[in-house]
Protein backbone atom coordinates (compact mmCIF):
# COMPACT_ATOMS: atom_id res chain seq x y z
CA UNK A 1 0.00 0.00 0.00
CA UNK A 2 1.48 3.33 -1.07
CA UNK A 3 1.46 6.69 0.67
CA UNK A 4 -1.78 8.60 1.03
CA UNK A 5 -2.52 12.30 1.05
CA UNK A 6 -2.83 13.73 4.53
CA UNK A 7 -4.13 17.05 5.79
CA UNK A 8 -3.78 19.83 3.23
CA UNK A 9 -4.77 23.42 2.67
CA UNK A 10 -4.06 26.27 0.29
CA UNK A 11 -4.95 29.89 -0.16
CA UNK A 12 -3.82 33.45 -0.83
CA UNK A 13 -1.75 35.43 1.68
CA UNK A 14 -0.89 39.10 2.18
CA UNK A 15 -3.85 40.57 0.26
CA UNK A 16 -3.46 44.26 1.06
CA UNK A 17 -6.77 46.16 0.97
CA UNK A 18 -7.14 49.86 1.71
CA UNK A 19 -10.65 51.32 1.60
CA UNK A 20 -11.59 54.97 1.97
CA UNK A 21 -15.29 55.51 2.64
CA UNK A 22 -15.98 59.11 1.74
CA UNK A 23 -18.67 60.65 3.91
CA UNK A 24 -19.90 64.17 3.34
CA UNK A 25 -17.86 65.64 6.21
CA UNK A 26 -15.50 62.85 7.21
CA UNK A 27 -13.67 59.96 5.58
CA UNK A 28 -13.24 56.48 7.10
CA UNK A 29 -9.95 54.64 6.46
CA UNK A 30 -9.48 50.87 6.88
CA UNK A 31 -6.07 49.39 6.06
CA UNK A 32 -6.25 45.58 6.04
CA UNK A 33 -4.11 42.59 5.11
CA UNK A 34 -6.13 39.44 4.43
CA UNK A 35 -5.07 35.79 4.36
CA UNK A 36 -7.51 33.22 2.92
CA UNK A 37 -7.06 29.49 3.60
CA UNK A 38 -9.26 26.71 2.23
CA UNK A 39 -9.55 23.10 3.34
CA UNK A 40 -11.74 20.52 1.66
CA UNK A 41 -12.00 17.83 -0.98
CA UNK A 42 -8.86 18.55 -2.97
CA UNK A 43 -7.52 15.00 -3.24
CA UNK A 44 -7.93 14.84 -7.03
CA UNK A 45 -5.96 18.05 -7.45
CA UNK A 46 -2.96 16.65 -5.57
CA UNK A 47 -3.12 13.01 -6.65
CA UNK A 48 -4.55 13.06 -10.20
CA UNK A 49 -3.74 16.58 -11.37
CA UNK A 50 -7.45 17.25 -11.86
CA UNK A 51 -8.17 20.93 -11.14
CA UNK A 52 -11.94 20.69 -11.67
CA UNK A 53 -13.76 22.87 -9.16
CA UNK A 54 -10.51 24.31 -7.78
CA UNK A 55 -10.74 28.08 -7.15
CA UNK A 56 -7.51 29.81 -8.19
CA UNK A 57 -5.68 31.81 -5.55
CA UNK A 58 -5.81 34.79 -7.92
CA UNK A 59 -9.61 34.49 -7.76
CA UNK A 60 -9.41 34.57 -3.95
CA UNK A 61 -7.60 37.90 -4.14
CA UNK A 62 -10.22 39.33 -6.48
CA UNK A 63 -13.07 38.15 -4.24
CA UNK A 64 -11.60 39.98 -1.25
CA UNK A 65 -11.38 43.26 -3.21
CA UNK A 66 -14.86 42.83 -4.69
CA UNK A 67 -16.48 42.11 -1.33
CA UNK A 68 -14.63 45.07 0.20
CA UNK A 69 -16.20 47.27 -2.46
CA UNK A 70 -19.69 45.82 -1.96
CA UNK A 71 -19.78 45.72 1.84
CA UNK A 72 -19.10 48.38 4.46
CA UNK A 73 -15.93 47.89 6.48
CA UNK A 74 -17.37 49.40 9.64
CA UNK A 75 -17.07 46.00 11.37
CA UNK A 76 -14.12 43.66 10.89
CA UNK A 77 -16.03 40.64 12.31
CA UNK A 78 -18.84 41.22 9.81
CA UNK A 79 -16.48 41.60 6.85
CA UNK A 80 -14.41 38.55 7.82
CA UNK A 81 -17.60 36.48 8.11
CA UNK A 82 -18.81 37.65 4.68
CA UNK A 83 -15.53 36.65 3.00
CA UNK A 84 -15.29 33.31 4.83
CA UNK A 85 -18.93 32.55 4.07
CA UNK A 86 -18.39 33.17 0.37
CA UNK A 87 -15.60 30.60 0.14
CA UNK A 88 -17.34 28.10 2.43
CA UNK A 89 -20.18 28.02 -0.08
CA UNK A 90 -17.96 26.58 -2.83
CA UNK A 91 -18.52 22.93 -3.72
CA UNK A 92 -15.17 21.44 -2.70
CA UNK A 93 -14.59 23.59 0.41
CA UNK A 94 -15.26 22.21 3.90
CA UNK A 95 -13.66 25.00 5.93
CA UNK A 96 -12.72 28.55 4.92
CA UNK A 97 -10.53 30.63 7.20
CA UNK A 98 -10.10 34.38 6.75
CA UNK A 99 -7.48 36.16 8.83
CA UNK A 100 -7.50 39.96 8.81
CA UNK A 101 -4.78 42.20 10.20
CA UNK A 102 -5.52 45.89 10.51
CA UNK A 103 -2.67 48.37 10.34
CA UNK A 104 -3.34 51.17 12.84
CA UNK A 105 -3.78 54.78 11.74
CA UNK A 106 -4.51 57.75 13.99
CA UNK A 107 -6.76 60.50 12.67
CA UNK A 108 -5.32 63.99 12.19
CA UNK A 109 -8.45 65.58 10.78
CA UNK A 110 -11.48 64.61 8.74
CA UNK A 111 -9.36 63.49 5.79
CA UNK A 112 -5.83 62.81 7.12
CA UNK A 113 -4.07 60.26 9.32
CA UNK A 114 -0.68 59.37 10.74
CA UNK A 115 0.69 55.91 11.40
CA UNK A 116 -0.79 54.75 14.69
CA UNK A 117 0.47 52.78 17.68
CA UNK A 118 -1.18 50.36 20.05
CA UNK A 119 -0.55 47.10 18.23
CA UNK A 120 -1.83 45.44 15.09
CA UNK A 121 -5.40 44.20 15.27
CA UNK A 122 -6.12 40.62 14.19
CA UNK A 123 -9.51 39.06 13.45
CA UNK A 124 -10.14 35.52 12.22
CA UNK A 125 -13.38 34.03 10.91
CA UNK A 126 -13.78 30.32 10.14
CA UNK A 127 -16.81 29.27 8.10
CA UNK A 128 -17.90 25.68 7.60
CA UNK A 129 -20.81 23.32 8.07
CA UNK A 130 -21.02 24.31 11.75
CA UNK A 131 -21.44 28.00 10.98
CA UNK A 132 -18.96 30.81 11.57
CA UNK A 133 -16.54 30.98 14.51
CA UNK A 134 -14.70 34.17 15.44
CA UNK A 135 -11.33 34.76 17.05
CA UNK A 136 -9.38 37.92 17.78
CA UNK A 137 -5.81 38.84 18.48
CA UNK A 138 -3.11 41.45 18.69
CA UNK A 139 0.46 41.65 17.42
CA UNK A 140 3.38 44.02 17.88
CA UNK A 141 2.08 45.64 21.07
CA UNK A 142 5.29 47.06 22.58
CA UNK A 143 5.01 47.94 26.27
CA UNK A 144 7.52 48.86 28.97
CA UNK A 145 7.49 49.44 32.73
CA UNK A 146 10.38 51.40 34.22
CA UNK A 147 9.57 50.25 37.77
CA UNK A 148 7.25 47.92 39.66
CA UNK A 149 8.94 44.76 38.41
CA UNK A 150 11.46 42.39 39.97
CA UNK A 151 12.84 38.88 39.66
CA UNK A 152 14.15 36.99 42.68
CA UNK A 153 13.92 33.63 44.43
CA UNK A 154 14.61 31.67 41.25
CA UNK A 155 16.69 28.49 41.19
CA UNK A 156 20.44 28.93 41.39
CA UNK A 157 23.25 26.54 40.51
CA UNK A 158 26.87 26.85 39.44
CA UNK A 159 25.81 28.16 36.02
CA UNK A 160 23.66 30.98 37.42
CA UNK A 161 25.12 34.47 37.09
CA UNK A 162 21.94 36.57 37.00
CA UNK A 163 21.63 38.75 40.11
CA UNK A 164 18.32 39.00 41.93
CA UNK A 165 16.50 42.32 41.79
CA UNK A 166 13.36 43.92 43.15
CA UNK A 167 13.48 46.82 40.68
CA UNK A 168 14.05 46.25 36.99
CA UNK A 169 12.74 47.39 33.63
CA UNK A 170 10.08 45.08 32.20
CA UNK A 171 9.66 45.38 28.44
CA UNK A 172 7.87 43.05 26.06
CA UNK A 173 6.10 42.85 22.71
CA UNK A 174 2.70 41.33 23.40
CA UNK A 175 1.26 38.81 20.97
CA UNK A 176 -2.14 37.38 21.87
CA UNK A 177 -4.97 35.44 20.30
CA UNK A 178 -8.36 34.63 21.77
CA UNK A 179 -11.57 32.76 20.92
CA UNK A 180 -15.05 34.26 21.00
CA UNK A 181 -18.07 32.21 21.98
CA UNK A 182 -20.36 34.36 19.85
CA UNK A 183 -20.10 37.18 17.34
CA UNK A 184 -18.05 40.07 18.77
CA UNK A 185 -18.98 43.68 18.29
CA UNK A 186 -16.67 46.05 16.48
CA UNK A 187 -15.55 47.61 19.78
CA UNK A 188 -14.72 44.26 21.46
CA UNK A 189 -11.12 44.20 20.23
CA UNK A 190 -10.26 47.66 21.56
CA UNK A 191 -11.85 46.78 24.91
CA UNK A 192 -9.72 43.64 25.23
CA UNK A 193 -6.58 45.49 24.20
CA UNK A 194 -7.24 48.18 26.81
CA UNK A 195 -7.87 45.53 29.49
CA UNK A 196 -4.53 43.88 28.70
CA UNK A 197 -2.75 47.22 28.96
CA UNK A 198 -4.34 48.04 32.34
CA UNK A 199 -3.46 44.60 33.68
CA UNK A 200 0.14 45.03 32.56
CA UNK A 201 0.52 47.95 34.99
CA UNK A 202 -1.87 47.34 37.92
CA UNK A 203 0.37 45.14 40.10
CA UNK A 204 3.92 44.50 41.24
CA UNK A 205 5.38 41.99 38.82
CA UNK A 206 7.54 39.27 40.42
CA UNK A 207 7.99 37.61 37.01
CA UNK A 208 6.84 37.85 33.41
CA UNK A 209 4.90 34.63 34.03
CA UNK A 210 2.88 36.27 36.80
CA UNK A 211 2.14 39.32 34.66
CA UNK A 212 1.08 37.15 31.72
CA UNK A 213 -1.39 35.25 33.90
CA UNK A 214 -2.69 38.49 35.37
CA UNK A 215 -3.29 39.92 31.88
CA UNK A 216 -5.04 36.79 30.63
CA UNK A 217 -7.24 36.53 33.70
CA UNK A 218 -8.22 40.19 33.43
CA UNK A 219 -9.24 39.75 29.78
CA UNK A 220 -11.53 36.81 30.57
CA UNK A 221 -13.05 38.58 33.57
CA UNK A 222 -13.76 41.71 31.53
CA UNK A 223 -15.47 39.99 28.59
CA UNK A 224 -17.71 36.94 29.22
CA UNK A 225 -17.71 36.21 25.47
CA UNK A 226 -14.00 35.25 25.55
CA UNK A 227 -13.42 31.52 26.00
CA UNK A 228 -9.63 31.45 26.10
CA UNK A 229 -6.65 33.68 25.47
CA UNK A 230 -3.09 32.73 24.55
CA UNK A 231 -0.35 35.24 25.27
CA UNK A 232 3.30 35.34 24.23
CA UNK A 233 5.53 37.81 26.08
CA UNK A 234 9.18 37.88 25.00
CA UNK A 235 11.34 39.44 27.69
CA UNK A 236 13.14 42.32 25.96
CA UNK A 237 15.99 42.76 28.42
CA UNK A 238 17.21 46.20 29.50
CA UNK A 239 20.50 45.66 31.35
CA UNK A 240 21.99 48.31 33.66
CA UNK A 241 25.08 49.80 32.07
CA UNK A 242 28.01 50.50 34.38
CA UNK A 243 29.01 54.11 33.84
CA UNK A 244 30.92 54.31 37.16
CA UNK A 245 33.98 52.88 35.39
CA UNK A 246 34.14 56.17 33.47
CA UNK A 247 34.27 58.19 36.70
CA UNK A 248 30.57 59.08 36.39
CA UNK A 249 28.08 58.86 39.26
CA UNK A 250 26.01 55.77 38.45
CA UNK A 251 22.40 56.51 39.43
CA UNK A 252 21.02 53.45 37.65
CA UNK A 253 19.51 55.50 34.83
CA UNK A 254 21.35 54.14 31.79
CA UNK A 255 20.52 50.73 30.28
CA UNK A 256 21.66 48.58 27.40
CA UNK A 257 18.57 47.49 25.46
CA UNK A 258 19.23 44.05 23.98
CA UNK A 259 17.36 42.33 21.15
CA UNK A 260 18.96 38.88 21.45
CA UNK A 261 19.06 36.48 23.07
CA UNK A 262 15.79 37.00 24.94
CA UNK A 263 13.49 34.98 27.15
CA UNK A 264 10.14 33.84 25.77
CA UNK A 265 7.17 33.28 28.08
CA UNK A 266 3.84 32.02 26.75
CA UNK A 267 0.72 30.45 28.22
CA UNK A 268 -3.00 30.01 27.68
CA UNK A 269 -5.57 31.21 30.20
CA UNK A 270 -8.96 29.59 29.72
CA UNK A 271 -12.27 29.28 31.49
CA UNK A 272 -12.70 26.44 33.95
CA UNK A 273 -15.77 24.72 32.48
Q: Which residues are catalytic?
A: 12, 57, 237
Q: What is the SS3 assignment for 146? A: coil
Is the alpha carbon torsion for 59, 65, 68, 69 positive or negative? negative
First to last CA, the chain: 44
CA distance 126 to 132: 5
What's the CA gap between 104 and 114, in Å, rounded?
A: 9
- CA 172, chain centre distance (Å): 14
Helix (H) or strand (E) holding 268: strand 263-270
Task: Say which residues have a Cβ less than 8 Å from residue 70's Cβ, sequence separation at least 6.
Answer: none
Amino acid sequence: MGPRLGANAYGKAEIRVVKVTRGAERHLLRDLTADVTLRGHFEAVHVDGDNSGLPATDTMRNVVYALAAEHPLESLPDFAAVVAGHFAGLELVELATVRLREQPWERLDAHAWQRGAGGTRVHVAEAGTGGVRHAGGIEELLVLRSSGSGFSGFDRDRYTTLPETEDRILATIVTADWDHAGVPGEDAWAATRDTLLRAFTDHFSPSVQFTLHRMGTAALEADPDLERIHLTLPNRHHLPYDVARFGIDDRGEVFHATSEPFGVIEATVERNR
